[in-house]
Amino acid sequence: MKASIVLAAITAFTLKASADCFSTRLGYPCCSGNDVVYTDNDGKWGVENGNWCGIDDTPSAATCWSLSQGYPCCSSSNAEVWYTDASGKWGVENGDWCGIPTGSTGGSTGGSTGGNVTPGEQYTHNGNPFANKDFYINPYYVEEIEGAIAQMSDSSLIAKAEKMKTYSNAIWLDSIKNMQSWLETNLKGALSQQNASGKDVLTVFVVYDLPGRDCHALASNGELLANDNDWARYKSEYIDVIEGHLKTYKSQPVVLIVEPDSLANMVTNLESTPACRDSEKYYMDGHAYLIKKFGVLPHVAMYLDIGHAFWLGWDDNREKAGKVYAKVISSGSPGKVRGFTDNVANYTPWEDPTLSRGPETEWNPCPDEKRYLQAIHKDFKAAGISSVYFVCDTSRNGKKVDRKHPGEWCNQTGVGVGARPQASPVSGMDYLDAFYWIKPLGESDGTSDESAVRFDGYCGHETAMKPAPEAGQWFQKHFEQGLKNANPPL
């Protein structure tokens, strides 16, 4: 079976949502109905009252040979056969592989290590963390795309969306609850694939829950406020828990994208934005704390966020940034940082030969991400930062968007999927570790509803697509436009 689809199957949720169905032993109630939202090796799952619940209608283990291999059983022995191997016949349901039950179309009970989630020996990164790895497929995003496809009728667009399911993107740990739901589940999924395939499987997570998060924006403010009580929660309920899971799953490579927008705000917005001044202590201490925790783990590579070309691209901003980031990294000693990530959740093209330093760019000498990284690499080295490598978010920068000012960031019209996730993508830039999809195309940047508590004015601007849902919610129209404008084409 194709690894990209197998991954979506073997890494489906293992910890989700009345005492007479399988889900009760996992801490979730039984469903009252039979609407299947997701299927994994535990059974079929629905959602009721905003929580996962188990649907107790799966075939028994006696007839479902695929359960022993870590895959669910198909709902019918007459399911369409998509693949046949020594184990038996395979179908696909809800975007996942399933075993067609024996009895009418049966197969053998061949062995597999697909469900093995026993950690092995300590893994240690050596050089580029993205090189020579299989990239883990985010099962939640696969499910989002399945829902998007269900709303499409254009066959060519559906084909493009199907291709999107085969590419890796980051998993956002953007709240304590989501971290609890997503971190260990996906570490187990990646480890299962790694143990089955014998190949290193890299998982990328976004650490994103600082107190006073996104102090200069409203659309993506977080759950923790800039106060001492929430600072204590950030350490004990969020960072410490992540550390514990990372220490357990030590035999697989992990990359952490650390707190997007936070340090860039410390460079440019302390004087102009009271909320950023209120958050400064927690941003700086938070980075020191997490670097000390995660930066000593040999299988974990960290990248600190550096905004994008039209945030820190100007000479004075880059010079100041070098000092800020050098101080932060030093404060986390003995923890180490691999490098930095740019363009997260933004749209700035990798190269834009139509722009140069002039009035149109407000005299920015770095009007695209390539020139930005070339410049900031020199500046950070000059500031005494020893490890200066980059991961560029190319999930939505394939096409120059319609924005009239390069600072526009919310749900931009004209969006297009950019370069595919790839290690060492540019010849002559050995400090560019990867192009990678960090912000998932299709998830909104923020609501356009002016009456909403989290409405940000940028989401109401002329070039922001409307109507738009709240940040992180699915935005079908934006997703479809991104598919159509993909560069390279899907």
Q: Which residues are catalytic?
A: 214, 261, 445
**In angstroms, what CA-CA distances link 32 with 14, 19, 97?**
21, 13, 25
d(CA 410, CA 68): 46
Residue among 148, 253, 163 at smallest CA distance from 201 = 253
Evaluate the omega torsion of the peptide bond into residue 425 and state whether it is cis, within 30 degrees of 0.
no
Structure tokens at 415: 């969006």
Type and span of the H or E element at 319? helix 315-331
d(CA 30, CA 15): 14
* Phi, psi (degrees; rounded to nearest 5) at 393: -75, 115
- Cross-strand bridge partners of residue 258: 207, 304
254-258 and 422-423 strand pairing? unpaired
d(CA 71, CA 67): 5
Evaluate the omega torsion of the peptide bond into residue 489 and state whether it is cis, within 30 degrees of 0.
no
**DSSP one-letter string for 25-44:** GGT-PBPSS----EE-SS-E
Contact 34, 43 (CB under 8 A): no
Residue among 105, 95, 175 at smallest CA distance from 138 = 95
**DSSP one-letter string for 277-312:** HHHHHHHHHHHHHHHHHHTT-TTEEEEEE---HHHH
Residue among 68, 104, 109 at smallest CA distance from 86 = 109
| Contacts of 9 by beta carbon, 8 Å cutoff, 6+ apart | 71, 72, 96, 97, 98
d(CA 32, CA 439): 35
**In angstroms, what CA-CA distances link 116 with 5, 26, 68, 75, 443?**
18, 19, 10, 24, 32
Structure tokens at 295: 């930066």
**In angstroms, what CA-CA distances link 319 with 282, 312, 323, 367?**
23, 9, 7, 17
